Amino acid sequence: MKDWFTIDKIDETTYIISEYRHWEETHCYLLIGSKRCLLIDTGLGICNIYDEVRKLTDKPVTAVATHIHWDHIGGHKYFPDFYVHKAELEWLNGKFPLSIQTVRDMVVDRCDLPEGFDASKYEMFQGTPTKVLNGGEIIDLGNRKIEVLHTAGHSPGHLCFWERERGYIFTGDLIYKDTLFAYYPSTDPEAYLQSLEIIAALPSNRLFPAHHSLDIQPEIAVRMRDAFRELKAQGKLKHGAGTFDYGDWAVWL
């Protein structure tokens, strides 16, 4: 299990913890302040992300989820101090819209699982957060402040995180290179556009997605926003409209 995670350094106090052996290639982000740390997403929960975090810092860690999907909260069990958006609280209390068998099937799909891992025993994290977010909060890590942005669309309580001082935006599943998912019943294509409007308007230096390629520039937010605007103008920004391919990204509606 030792090579399950890949660590990349963004700067002296910011790290990417990735799970490239699963098809989703989930990225989690550790932001280290002078007093405490923020871990944005905790991954699949197949291996212990806490051990990786402890190699990088000994400060207290708060976990925060971009959204309550299984591939972003799997490691929350190691972090009793965690925050979530109010719109997805019920998903932490037995009301997630997918069955556990469906989730287990996705865990094993196109995945180089570590030896000894039993997917039949995989469970979705359930628990009670230490803080419920609405969007607009500032998380102060000590000499480092992170703004919480409510960016619904991919999910009702989806969050992005904006570090104004460094120009970093951690975009979760709202923005990444590959096919964006906006077809689930719990997604909202119209809200997705409104969230892209928010992100595209920010003066960012770097975007950090939750999946796939890390070679991604802030201009993609503008391209995505413009494409969603065009889909709306054509009456196609709705469930069942199909998949639209824009080269380095696509959206499934």
CA atoms within 13 A on the CB side of 105: 5
Residues 179-216: pLDDT tens digits?
Answer: 999 999 999 999 999 999 999 999 999 999 999 999 99
Exposure on the CB side of residue 231, measured as CA atoms within 13 A: 26
Q: Where are the domains of the chain?
A: 6-178+206-217
Share of the chain above pLDDT 90, in %: 88
What the block records as the tokens of 200 is 């595209």
SS3 211: strand
Specify burial of residue 17 (Cβ count, 10 A radius: 0-12, 13-18, 19+): buried
Alpha-carbon distance of 139 to 163, in angstroms, equals 10
Cα separation, 96 vs 75, in Å, equals: 17
223 touches 196 (CB < 8 A): no
Selection from 238, 159, 237, 155 nearest residue 199 by Cα: 159
CATH topology of domain 6-178+206-217: Metallo-beta-lactamase; Chain A (3.60.15)
Q: How many CA atoms lie within 13 A of 20 on its CB side?
A: 10
175's tokens: 């923005």
> Which pLDDT band, with edges at 50, 70 and 90, does 110 fall under?
confident
pLDDT at 1 over 60: no
115-141 pLDDT per residue, tens: 888 988 898 999 999 999 999 999 999
8 Å CB contact between 96 and 65: no
How far the first Cα of the chain sits from its last, in Å, is 36
Position with higher pLDDT, 122 vs 1:
122
3-class SS string, 70-118: HHHHCCHHHCCCEEEEHHHHHHHCCCCCCCHHHHHHHHHCCECCCCCCC
Does 98 score more than 90 pLDDT? no
CA distance 21 to 10: 21
- The span from the CA of 6 to the CA of 94, in Å, is 31
Angle at 15 between CA 134 and CA 72, to 5 degrees: 45
Q: Check residue 115 and give its pLDDT.
A: 86
Closest by alpha carbon to 20, among 110, 103, 104? 110
**Confidence (pTM):** 0.96
